Each structure stands twice: as C-alpha cells, then as structure tokens.
Chains A and B, each alone.
Chain A
Amino acid sequence: MLDKIDLNQKVTKGMYRQVKPELYRRLNLAQIKTFTSNIPIIILLEGWYAANTGKILQNLIEPLNPRGFRIISDRKISSDDEKFPWLRKYWLNLPARGEWVIFDGSWYRRVSYERVQKIIPEKEWRRSYRDIVEFERTLNDDGYMLFKFFFHINKQEQKRRHFKCLKDPKTTKQHIDEIWEQQQDFDNWMSAYTEIFERTDTEWGPWKIIEATKNRFVIIKILGEIILSLENRLRLPYTPLPEFEKPLESLDPEVDLPEISEVKGVEDTSKEIRKLPPDSLEEEMTLAANDLIDQNQTSSDQEES
C-alpha cells in the first residue's frame, strides 16, 4: 500500500508563496464558522519519525485563533493512565462542541509504538483495532469531524534525515535515537502501519496518506484537505483550491502579490521575517548563500519551474 505512493511531489517556492495566504484566509474563516455552528474537530497527525510533524503542526496552527484549539501531545504519557482502560486519556481530551483538538500522536500509538516495542501483549493490541473503530464511529455519529493524516517518507529519506539531524544542534539526542531505532526496525513498523490502514480505514474515519518528502507540498496539501472537507460540512459553496501542482508561466511572486507597503503604507518586513521551510537538504545547504544574493535565488526558482 505505502510503496505505491509517489514521494517526489513538490511545490515550488513561488507557488507556495502565492497559494498559502489564500489557504490561510479560508482556514481561518472555516474555524470561525465551525465555532459558531458548534462542530467539534479532531485532527490526528501520525507519521514516521523525522517526517517533520512538528514543522507541519507549526504551519497548520498559524492562521488559527488560539482560543479555539488545543494541541494534545502524546509523547508524554503519565503513569496514571495505566490504571484505567486505555482509551480513557483520549476520551478526556476530546474537544467540546465548536472546539478543535489536534492530536500530535494519537490512539494509534497503541497499535504502532506499543505493538512494535512489545509494551503490551499481542492479545491486547489485537483487540484495540475494534475499540478504535467503534470509538471513531461513536465520534462521527455524534457530529465530530475527524481528520487522520499519515505523513509518509521512505526508508532512505528517513536515514538521510537522521544524518541531517545529527549535525543539527537543535535536535535532541532522544529524538535522534528514536529515529535511528525506527530506522533499524523499519519493516516491523511498516507492517504495523499497513495493518492500521487495512483495519481502521473506515467510512467514518478515512486515512489521508500524505507524501511528506517535501515540506511545502505537505503543508499545502493538508491545508487543502482540511479546508475542502470543512467547507463541505459547513455547506459553503464549493470553491476550488488554488492550483499548485502545475507551475504557471507568469510565476513571479514580486508581480502577483500586492506589496504590503503599498497597501498599508508601512515598511514591508515580511520577507525578512518569514523564512520558508527548507525543501530538501541541498537547498538548506545553499540557503545561506541564497539569502545573501537575492538575484541568485530568483534565478534558481525560475530554473525549478
């Protein structure tokens, strides 16, 4: 299932700049509308280690009103949770009506991490699939909207990112070890994930597998997925997403985007502050150089497109 995915889809920088503000505007509007119409939203972010879930999360919440959402991270599990049936900790964190909750790591930890690490016996994780399916069905029946994203990268890419993280002083040692452990045990994890998709990809909780090799592509893709389903649910008239897969001829952000300084009469500092997430290792290596010489950057953009 996972090996049939084209992992090399990407979005050019110019396109990204052009499309993102529009997506952000629509996502923000959708959030306000879900609040007023009392629709609870759950977003699950699952994926391989080093799939850059953190960065994706950062970009996802940027346009959202901070009062309207919560992020529940499943990285830390309190020891009290073992004293209760396993789904309890997720039940207690469910959003109220009109609220958004983003689960960074979710109830699928049970059938992926805890299965592969052999924390629980096979009998227990085997029956967890049924618990999960019924749980999600209950939520869907009750009016919850559930997005399940899986960020997929392949084994070589993960290995490459592992070495990249080794050089990065910002990455914690714990995270590096996690990546390496998963890298060593990749096939086991793969079979765990494949079984997840086979057993829990339901009518009421479909999986969205996202090709996560290129950061910009992932961000544009999940923003689009969320916006379209939300607008559909809110019965807003269908408006197609801005195209980003086919690069246009007149792809010059300098021309198409209105300058902030022109509109508001203030100094435009957005270019300096907003740094684009690096799309690949090579690009990051050259990023420093690109910053210095602006002309070089635009010319390389044109080459890409």
Chain B
Amino acid sequence: MLNTIDLSLSLDKDQYKNLLKEYQKALSPLVDQVFLQERSVVIVLEGWDTAGKSSVIHRIIEKIDPHIFRVYAINPPNDIEKSHHYLWRFWQKLPEKGQIAIFDHSWYGRVLNDRVEANCTEDEWQRAYREINSFERQLVDFGTIIKKFWLHIDKQEFKNRLEFRNQQLESARNITGSDWNDYEKWDIFTEAVNEMLLRTNPVTANWTIVESNSKSYSRIKIIKNIVESLSQELEYDSIINKAVDNENKSKKKKQK
C-alpha cells in the first residue's frame, strides 16, 4: 500500500503561502460551525517521527478559536493508565459536543509501536483492530467527524531528518534512542503500518495517506482535506468555494 505513493509531490513557496492563507481562512468559520452545530471532531495524526506532525498541528490551530480545540500529545502510558485497558485513556480524552480534539499519536500506538516493540502479545494486537473499529464506529454513531492521517516519508528522508535534528542541539525535541529504533526497524514497522491502513479503514473513518517528503505539500494536503470534509459534513461551503477558486487561479497564473 505504501509502496505506491508518489513522494516527489511538492509545492513552490509562493503557491504554498497563498494556499495556506486561504485554507486557514476557510477553516476558521468551519470550526465555529462545529461549535454551533454541536458536532465533535477527532483528528488523528500518525506518522514517522520527524514527518512533520507537530508543524501541521501548528498550522491547523493557528487561526482557529482557542476555546474549541484541544491538542493531545500521546506519550507512553503512566502507571494508572497501564492498569486499565489501553483504550481507557482515550475515552477520557474524547471531545465533547462542539469541540475538536487533535491527537499527535493515538490509540493506533497499540498496533504500531506496541506491536513492533513487543509490548503486547500477538493476540492482543490482533484483536485491537476489531476493538479500534468498534470504538470509532461508536464515535461516528454519536456524530463525531473522524479524520485520520498517515504522514509518510521514505527511509532516506527519515535518516536525513534524524541526522539534521541531531545537529540542532538547542532544539527542545532532541532525538532520543527510540527514534533511531524506529529507523532500524523500518521494515517491520512498515509492515505494521500497511496492515493498520488495510484493517482500520471503514468508509466512515478512513485513512488519508499524506506524502510528506515535501513539508509544504503535506501541510496543504492535510488542511485542505480537513476543510473539505468539514464543509461537506457540516453543509457549510460558502467560503470553501472561494478557496478552491483561488487555487484554480493560481494554477492558471502558473501556466501563464
């Protein structure tokens, strides 16, 4: 599944700036609609470390009402969380009606990291697919809009970025051993990702694979996807048309 992705897609700087501005403008009233219509939204960002998850989150929340969203960075479970079912801590973090929750890593850790690092038995991660599907179906039944993104980069790019980050000594997010672990286990990890994308992909909560070798392209793709699906779900699309028009215009400009 992941082999067939064209990772060379990219955007030039001007195009990126214009599109980002437009989509951020379009997103803001949509988020207000989420609040007014009392829907809830769950955005799941999964991907290789250094694929650009947090920078995407930064772009998403830049222009929207700060009361309406929460961002959760998911770390390994603490003692209390360990003594419960793995989904327990995510039930606690669900957004209430009219709220948006953005998950940087999520319950898919069970079928990715836990599986690869052998933190759970095979039975446990095998049945996790069913449990996750059931969990997400309950959210959809309740009226939650679920968007799931897999940010993909290739192995060479992953290595480059890790090395680049290693040099930035003052960065708050220095590289730890676990990141290199993922790199060394690239093949096993890819297998786990492929299986996850296949088995947890219902129509109502499907995965979007984002080609992230070019950061600008991946950011635009994610925000665009969120804007489009929100406007479709909330039946509120006056501004999205403008954004799409502008995109067409800029394409035309480029052609000229």
Contact = CB atoms under 8 A, between A and B. Distances in A.
Contact of A96 (B84, B97, B138, B142): B84
Given A83-B96, A138-B134, A96 B127 contact: no
Interface string B131-156: 10010001101101000000000000
Nearest to A87: B138
Nearest to A99: B83
Given A83-B97, A96-B83, A97-B83, A91 B138 contact: no
Interface string B79-120: 010011101100110101100000000000000000000000
Given A80-B96, A92-B92, A96-B80, A85 B138 contact: yes
B84 A85 contact: no
B85 A138 contact: yes
Interface in B131-189: 131, 134, 138-139, 141-142, 144
B79 to A, nearest CB: 10
A21 B130 CA distance: 44
A203 interface: no
Contacts, number: 52
Main secondary structure of the interface of B (DSSP, over half): helix
Interface in A63-110: 80, 82-88, 91-92, 94, 96-98
Nearest to A85: B142
A139 B84 CA distance: 10
Nearest to B97: A83
A131 B141 CA distance: 10
Contacts of B138: 85, 87, 131
Interface in A109-135: 124, 127, 131, 134-135
Contacts of B97: 82-84
Nearest to B138: A85
Contacts of A131: 134, 138, 141
Nearest to A38: B83
A138 B84 contact: no
Contacts of B131: 134, 138, 141
Contacts of B84: 94, 96-97
Contacts of B80: 96
A98 B84 CA distance: 10
A249 interface: no
A142 interface: yes
A148 to B, nearest CB: 18
Interface residues of B, number: 20
A200 to B, nearest CB: 15
Contacts of A98: 83
A152 B27 CA distance: 55
Contact of A139 (B85, B91, B144): B85
B38 to A, nearest CB: 8
A82 B139 CA distance: 13
B94 A88 contact: yes
Contacts of A141: 127, 131
A82 B96 CA distance: 9
A267 B84 CA distance: 46
A85 B136 CA distance: 10
A135 B85 CA distance: 11
Contacts of B83: 38, 96-98
Given A91-B88, A92-B91, A138-B85, A85 B127 contact: no
A235 B83 CA distance: 22
Contacts of B139: 85
Given A88-B91, A94-B84, A138-B131, A127 B141 contact: yes
A82 B142 CA distance: 10
A139 B88 CA distance: 11
Contacts of A134: 130-131, 134
A88 B84 CA distance: 14
Contacts of A38: 83
Contact of A84 (B87, B94, B127, B141): B94
B144 to A, nearest CB: 8
Contacts of B87: 91, 138
A96 B230 CA distance: 37
B92 A142 contact: no
B88 A94 contact: yes
A111 to B, nearest CB: 15
A65 B88 CA distance: 25
Nearest to A127: B141
In the A-B complex, list the 4 residue pairs whose CB atoms are closest, starting with the nearest.
A83-B96, A91-B91, A96-B83, A85-B142
Interface of A: 38, 80, 82-88, 91-92, 94, 96-98, 124, 127, 131, 134-135, 138-139, 141-142
Given A84-B94, A138-B85, A138-B87, 15 more contacts: A38-B83, A84-B97, A85-B141, A87-B91, A88-B91, A88-B94, A92-B88, A94-B88, A96-B80, A97-B83, A131-B138, A134-B130, A134-B134, A138-B134, A139-B85
17 contacts: A38-B83, A80-B96, A84-B96, A85-B94, A85-B141, A86-B142, A87-B138, A92-B91, A94-B85, A94-B88, A96-B84, A98-B83, A124-B141, A127-B141, A138-B85, A138-B131, A138-B134
